[in-house]
Amino acid sequence: MALTSAQLEKQKKEAEELLFAGPETLGFAKALFFGHFHQNLIFPYPELNSEQKQIVETARAQVQKFADEKIDARQIDKLADIPRSVIDGLAELGVLGMTAPKEFGGREFKQQAYCKIMEILGGHCASTAVFVNAHHSIGIRALLLFGTKEQQARWLPDLVSGKKLAAFALTEPNAGSDAANVQTTATPTDDGTGYVLNGQKRYITNAAIAQVLTVMARTPVPGKPNESRITAFLVTPDMPGFEVVEARAEKMGIRGTATGKLRFTNMRVPKENVLGQVGKGLRVALTVLDFGRTTFGASCTGAAKVCVEAMTKHAKQRVQFEQTLSEFELVKKKIAFAAAHTFAMEAMTQICAAFIDQGAEDYMLETAILKVFSTEHLWTIVFDCMQIFGGQSYFCNEPYERWMRDARINTIGEGANEVLKSFIAVVGCRGPGMQLDAMRKNMIKRPWVGLTDGMSFVGSQIRDRVTRLDIPMQSYALRNVARELGYRVKKLGQALPFVFLRAGTEAKFLVSQYNHERLADIAMDLYASSCVLSRLDYLLSRNDSDAAQMEAGKYFLMLAFDRIDQNFVNLKQNHDAQTTRTADAVIQSFK
């Protein structure tokens, strides 16, 4: 059943309050929807200084050595458990609290440096990478960002050292990608000293092994008996009423992670354990997920790099029809696609991480784009890797089928990609949409002002079509491709008014997911291309660029531009109506 206008308005209001409270800033990705290119935000390509680079390279070498010698990914998958020796070893290397301040035992790594560590774990063992991400990137990170000094002093030292593990408990039977639909309740006690939690959580990584859990629950709004807001609580398993319903659910992939189900029955949590502000729990969740999605991108980059290496080496050695596989064009196509998109993943991850390190105010679209882009293209890369290995990849004595099973969760976890595509499109279009709506209202209320605004808008549209968006490059060799990117950035800004016009109303646009996907795909490829261009310019400026990397980057731009152009065409010419008729007919045929 379609949502009513009242339901849509309610959802819109809740989203506005959550995402756009306070002054709104214009990040790089949001600017793309206006047809603007904020070059200073991603140029020059961010790199660690020489001192940081040396520290990080030493840490990477230590983690790689430990992974090679101590993390048996096949056994972890087979036994569905990460040994305590692995957890303790990661703790000794500082991985479990790598970005935490030194006062709590951490190593104070910046996000960009930490992503380079997560890349190694992602390429070696997906289960271990997900475990670390749950513990650190969304577990400890919530305490670092929103915890009081008392909360941090109480829990961070043991979490950083690995004596205690963290978990982030948001998902419920009715709250997956729809995070705002949390049903677990937190009722204030009569004496005002705490809250009583009732409800259940499922699909929680580290649920049964964590000693500190960030739990989302719904608290009443004072003075409004029928309203409630989500609040974040710090919960420990020793609280009466805390129950592990299922410690380790059997799963298709990332089997080593302890994914569990919890139940809270009249569980009292002291008010001192509220994390952040009462009623602002979704803000905690979304902020933490921005960090988690960045390290998610790093893990996918690591996995993609391993696939590229494996498929390429096999293709050079395997002989069929008196030729190595690497001589066949359809194999070359798969290797080129994998290398190109791996290059883009790494560039996007490092730039997203740099936004965090630089204290940027707005990067929620960039991290959502990174998550969708990296998980979708990693799936294709793993698929193609298996195809190149052929039947050999299908057997469990090889790692390739495990890579496929592990990669499948990525497009679902931390926000399903379909939901995030609508998020990218709607949030990105909000600014241009509000600008046009203000002009429309002026035409009605103040015709002369509205007429002036309208003429100004028409003038800007004409100027955009006859002027060029220049993206200055250090390298002369990239100027033509930079010009092509600028053309497509401007085209997005020019196209949106007509997308809105064809939708007819804001309410219709908000549910136009066919176009959401196209707009999101355009924005993702524009952002990815911008990051790739920045990285290519950086590599060429050093005069020691790797030929394979340079060609991969250039090939990505070609592929991305082709996809962007096709999506622009499909905004106007498509089979949406027939898609809906077919789906509806099939849906109605099943009782």
Both tokens assigned to 135: 């513990």
Kind plus residue range of the DSSP H or E element containing 125:
none
Whether 286 contacts 364, CB under 8 Å: yes
Q: Using the 8-state DSSP alphabet, how is residue 212 labeled?
A: E
CA–CA distance, 106 with 323 (Å, rounded to integer): 52
3-state secondary structure of 378: helix
Whether 350 contacts 113, CB under 8 Å: no
Q: Is the peptide bond before 44 cis (omega within 30 degrees of 0)?
A: yes
How many C-beta neighbours within 10 Å does residue 498 have? Answer: 11
Tokens 């289960």 locate to 127
Q: CB-based burial of residue 590 (10 Å sphere; 0-12 exposed, 13-18 middle, 19+ buried)?
A: exposed
3-state secondary structure of 502: helix
Residue type, 553: G
Catalytic residue positions? Answer: 414
- Maximum C-alpha span of the chain: 82
CA–CA distance, 325 with 305 (Å, rounded to integer): 19
Is the C-alpha dihedral spanning 503, 507, 510, 512 positive or negative?
negative
CA–CA distance, 236 with 166 (Å, rounded to integer): 10
Q: CB-based burial of residue 262 (10 Å sphere; 0-12 exposed, 13-18 middle, 19+ buried)?
A: buried
